[in-house]
Chain A
Amino acid sequence: MTEAIVVETHPLDRIMRSDRMPHIFCPGCGIGIAMRCYGQAILESGIPQDRHVVVSGIGCTGRVAGYVHLDSYHTTHGRAIPFATGIKLANPDLMVTVFSGDGDLAAIGGNHLIHAARRNIDLKVICVNNFNYGMTGGQCGPTTPTGARATTSPYGNPEQPFNLPYLLAASGANYVSRWTTLHVRQIKDEILKIFAKPGFCFIEVLSSCPVGFGKSNHIPDGLEEMRLYRERSVLARDIPLDRLNIDLREDKPIYVGNFVNRDIPAYAPPQLAGSAEA
């Protein structure tokens, strides 16, 4: 047995609520990796920490709001985006990030997701996609690949999952990317990029949930999932958006990369000349 090394300080102490550790994430869970990338990006962003705000919905990923040392809002299932919309419009100086799960953002909150993208509201969304509802114990959801097993798809998921980058591109987002928790540098760099980019920006982070999705789909631990990402991740170059769907059944590529990067003007509420703020 190797001995555990206990470190007194961590470079991200300033960003994390260390008084809330240990966190609730399971061993091998990918959410912590994505959260770390977010923290690192905040550190490097040059934007004062007190101007960063994070909003989460409900789910394991939704717990991220409780671990970062920012003004942080852990709201209701599906409603992180409209809550964040209110914050952003009430105080446009804030850098408002929505950090939530695939179920929260694309199932119960799906309507808000597409409408916020359509408006191109200046929000930064980090969506941890672990292909299932982790928090409630591994049920299938809108991102569960066809055929995959979950506690509520014991015979294999009969449905077709969302291709999130395709959905977000069609809805009007300014920036859309997908990476996996293997791609820590890219995730951090992309978060830095979207901090600087006006409009609705969306990063999908494919992530492991060994106790939920993994256990029913022969990906028993986090390491195994990392191996899968290493073997099958392909940087998408000129791949049509409609081919970015994820199918885990065969040895198909998982396309990652940046798919949308455009400059549609971000939503700005109309103001008449001579008004109080104008």
Chain B
Amino acid sequence: MSGREVLTGRHFMNGDDACAEGAIAAGCRFFGGYPITPSTEVAERFSRRMPEIGGVYMQMEDELGSIAAVLGASAAGARAMTATSGPGLSLMMENLGLGVMLELPCVIIDIQRGSPSTGLPTMAGQSDLMQARWGSHGDYAIVAYAPSSPQEIFDLTIHAFNVADRYRVPVLILSDEVIGHMVERVVIPESQAIPRWERKRPPYPPEHYGQEGFKAFEPDASDLVPPIAHAGDGYRVHFTGLTHDPRGYPDMSAETHHELVTRLMEKIRRNAEDLILLETEYLDDADVVVISFGCTARSARRAVRDARAEGIRAGLLRLISIWPFPEQRIRDLAHEVKTFVVAEMNLGQIRLEVERCVGHPVRGVHHAGGAMIHPEPILEALRASAAQTAGRQK
């Protein structure tokens, strides 16, 4: 240890820098990326920091290469990540699917900007949510978190590595330009206080598995996650993006395919309770609940407090994790609260999910991106909802 791995102390730092520091504190030793606003500061920080701590900063030729290199580094045992924004995330989609199929842990931070296409390169967006969930072809599941402050980017980046390793799955951090460029206090703890979940490794040395070899894709029944063997470990594993059997060998049968894809989805669904992170405020007696995340949740919090001051029984449900979606929690909540308001900087991606869970349309406060949603329109929506429910009660 050179003592530069964990910069313990209080810092005044932007979200992009906090991401790089969180990753380094988590033991990330490979960064592969391609510069793109507003995520570039992540790459720049890594390029300065990796040489200090024996890590690798690799500037790839494009995002296709970035994600492929990250997966390769992960296959060799490194904690590895990349950082990008919308256009780069689009280019990463095919290999996001490869990461899912090969069950290679990795972390991708997407500092969202106004989209689609080149959109608003320097201004915030929150509209890559569905792409993160469904953008690669086929059925699959990933995990995604949405921080609301630089401190939370730091903390969630560490958590993302732990989750990626624990569940052998790509984890996305769906941040946004506001949080990425916002400078706030970031407290970095002592290195012993950084939580670390290790990858599950093969229980026995390679010789143990004899002629038949180690079954690199045979999951443990308890959590559906197979232990991982790294390049150079001696297990002589085969990893293929083709449909494969427990040995890792291609198997072009409909049965194997169904079993594999189902397990990859089920691995996340079954462990959803461990993956979902939520923050709530005033939910106990709330009539109307705002659901929000990322930078917009900061305005939502203010709107909820202002509504309370006006006598409206408002509450906040902040999604710290976006995927897997907290379906059950929202369904349960729908029994207790009268209405929901979804506030997000897109034209209704999470509202659609909420409506799916509660079974009827809900009020949305939306903006396509470029400027943060202010507390006022959210407060307006709360007032309207409160008036509506009051009217219904009469």
- A interface, CB within 8 angstroms of B: 17, 20, 49-51, 53, 55, 58, 65-66, 69-76, 78-79, 81-91, 93-94, 111-112, 115, 269-272, 274-278
CB of B62 within 8 A of CB of A111, answer yes
Chain A CB within 8 A of B80 CB: yes
The 8 Å CB contact of A90, one of B56, B102, B235, is B56
Supply 4 further A-B pairs (C-beta < 8 A) apart from A72-B236, A90-B30: A73-B75, A78-B64, A85-B68, A86-B68
A residues less than 8 Å from B77 (CB atoms): 90-91
Chain A CB within 8 A of B129 CB: no
Dominant secondary structure at the A interface: mixed
The 8 Å CB contact of B232, one of A50, A75, A271, is A50
A residues less than 8 Å from B72 (CB atoms): 55, 73, 82-88, 90
CB of B240 within 8 A of CB of A70, answer no
A residues less than 8 Å from B55 (CB atoms): 276
With A51-B232, A82-B64, A86-B69 known as contacts, the answer to whether A269 contacts B240 (CB < 8 A) is no
Chain A CB within 8 A of B53 CB: yes
CB of B69 within 8 A of CB of A82, answer yes
CB distance from A52 to the nearest CB of B (A): 9
List 27 A–B pairs whose Cβ atoms lie within 8 Å, in order of A's numbering: A50-B206, A50-B236, A66-B250, A69-B236, A71-B237, A73-B231, A74-B250, A78-B64, A79-B95, A83-B69, A85-B69, A86-B69, A86-B71, A86-B72, A86-B78, A87-B73, A89-B30, A90-B78, A91-B76, A91-B78, A94-B231, A111-B62, A112-B64, A115-B60, A271-B51, A276-B2, A276-B5
CB of A278 within 8 A of CB of B54, answer yes
A-B interface pairs (CB < 8 A), number = 166
CB distance from A277 to the nearest CB of B (A): 3
A residues less than 8 Å from B363 (CB atoms): none
A residues less than 8 Å from B38 (CB atoms): none
The 8 Å CB contact of A74, one of B50, B66, B240, is B240
The 8 Å CB contact of B65, one of A82, A270, A272, A276, is A82
B residues less than 8 Å from A81 (CB atoms): 65
A residues less than 8 Å from B29 (CB atoms): 90
User: How distant is the Cα of A104 from the Cα of B229 in the complex, in angstroms?
Assistant: 27
Chain A CB within 8 A of B242 CB: yes
Q: Which of chain B's residues has its CB closest to A275's CB?
A: B54
User: How distant is the Cα of A272 from the Cα of B52 in the complex, in angstroms?
Assistant: 5
Interface size counted on chain B using CB atoms at 8 A: 55
CB distance from B27 to the nearest CB of A (A): 11
B residues less than 8 Å from A112 (CB atoms): 61, 64-65, 68
B residues less than 8 Å from A274 (CB atoms): 2
The 8 Å CB contact of A86, one of B2, B74, B229, B240, is B74
CB of B240 within 8 A of CB of A65, answer yes
With A85-B69, A86-B80, A276-B54 known as contacts, the answer to whether A72 contacts B241 (CB < 8 A) is no
With A73-B239, A82-B72, A85-B69 known as contacts, the answer to whether A91 contacts B231 (CB < 8 A) is yes
CB distance from B73 to the nearest CB of A (A): 4
Chain A CB within 8 A of B234 CB: yes
Q: Which of chain B's residues has its CB closest to A51's CB?
A: B232
CB of B51 within 8 A of CB of A275, answer yes
The 8 Å CB contact of A66, one of B68, B74, B238, is B238
User: How distant is the Cα of A228 from the Cα of B141 in the complex, in angstroms?
Assistant: 51
User: How distant is the Cα of A73 from the Cα of B104 in the complex, in angstroms?
Assistant: 12
**Which 8 pairs across A and B sit closest by C-beta, in order of nearness?**
A86-B72, A277-B54, A276-B54, A86-B73, A82-B68, A90-B76, A86-B69, A82-B65
Chain A CB within 8 A of B114 CB: no
CB of B232 within 8 A of CB of A91, answer yes
User: How distant is the Cα of A106 from the Cα of B170 in the complex, in angstroms?
Assistant: 28
A residues less than 8 Å from B50 (CB atoms): 269
CB distance from A43 to the nearest CB of B (A): 15
User: How distant is the Cα of A278 from the Cα of B73 in the complex, in angstroms?
Assistant: 20
Chain A CB within 8 A of B94 CB: yes
CB of A115 within 8 A of CB of B76, answer no
CB of A93 within 8 A of CB of B232, answer yes
Chain A CB within 8 A of B1 CB: yes
B residues less than 8 Å from A115 (CB atoms): 60-61, 65
**Which residue, A72, A81, A88, A276, has most C-beta atoms of chain B within 10 A?**
A276
B residues less than 8 Å from A94 (CB atoms): 76, 231-232
CB distance from A5 to the nearest CB of B (A): 25
Chain A CB within 8 A of B70 CB: yes
The 8 Å CB contact of B231, one of A58, A71, A79, A111, is A71
User: How distant is the Cα of A88 from the Cα of B56 in the complex, in angstroms?
Assistant: 11
With A66-B238, A111-B62 known as contacts, the answer to whether A269 contacts B5 (CB < 8 A) is no
Q: Which of chain B's residues has its CB closest to A86's CB?
A: B72
A residues less than 8 Å from B236 (CB atoms): 49-50, 69-72
**Which residue, A74, A274, A278, has most C-beta atoms of chain B within 10 A?**
A74
CB of A75 within 8 A of CB of B80, answer no
Chain A CB within 8 A of B32 CB: yes
The 8 Å CB contact of A75, one of B57, B98, B229, is B98
Contact residues of B between 164 and 218, Cβ < 8 Å to A: 206
